[in-house]
């Protein structure tokens, strides 16, 4: 009978300790918000500010995905569309000014610098070209 009471006591103590540990465990961290890109640019911060449209690619020299996005953006370069590659290593103040927290990030802006479309991460050529066409309409 004593052994049974000791066993029950041990089980109750273990359950109490488990409950205390469960209550002290920190809550799961909140879901991280989506990265937001700027809604307005100062066109003077970018190449060819007089060009009607700007495709700015915020990148890093060590990012393979960035190179792919840059290649897709370069195809858009024309007399109407300026393409500016903003490398973190070479133009960090611009990244800081616009609070760019992830690369590649791409924005499409009009002559006044209003961002019409933006992408974070890889983008397909079709999506990029469609976004530029839609912004220009």
Higher pLDDT, 17 or 51: 51
Total domains in the chain come to 1
Residue range 85-137, pLDDT digits in tens:
999 999 999 999 999 989 999 999 999 999 999 999 999 999 999 999 999 88
Identify the domain containing residue 83 by its residue range.
43-136
Residue 24 lies in a domain: no
Whether the pLDDT of residue 81 is over 60: the answer is: yes
CATH code of residue 127:
3.40.30.10
Report yes or no on 21 lying in a domain.
no
pTM: predicted TM-score of the whole model, two decimal places? 0.74
Alpha-carbon dihedral 9, 15, 20, 24, rounded to 10 degrees: 160
Position 29 in a domain: no
Q: Is residue 76 part of a domain?
A: yes
Any domain includes 10: no
pLDDT category at 59 given cuts 50, 70, 90 is: very high
Q: Which of 113, 115, 95 has its CA nearest to residue 104?
A: 95
């Amino acid at each position: 009978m004593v052994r049974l009471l000791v066993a029950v006591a041990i089980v109750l103590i273990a359950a109490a300790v488990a409950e205390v540990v469960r209550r002290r465990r920190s809550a799961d961290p909140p879901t991280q918000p989506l990265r937001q890109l700027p809604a307005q640019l100062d066109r003077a911060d970018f190449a060819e500010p007089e060009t009607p449209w700007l495709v700015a690619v915020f990148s890093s020299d060590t990012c393979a995905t960035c190179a792919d996005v840059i290649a897709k953006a370069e195809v858009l370069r024309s007399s109407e569309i300026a393409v500016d590659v903003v490398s973190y290593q070479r133009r960090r103040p611009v990244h800081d000014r616009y609070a760019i927290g992830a690369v590649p990030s791409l924005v499409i802006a009009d002559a006044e610098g209003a961002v019409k479309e933006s992408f974070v991460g890889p983008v397909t050529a079709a999506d990029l070209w469609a976004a530029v066409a839609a912004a220009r309409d």
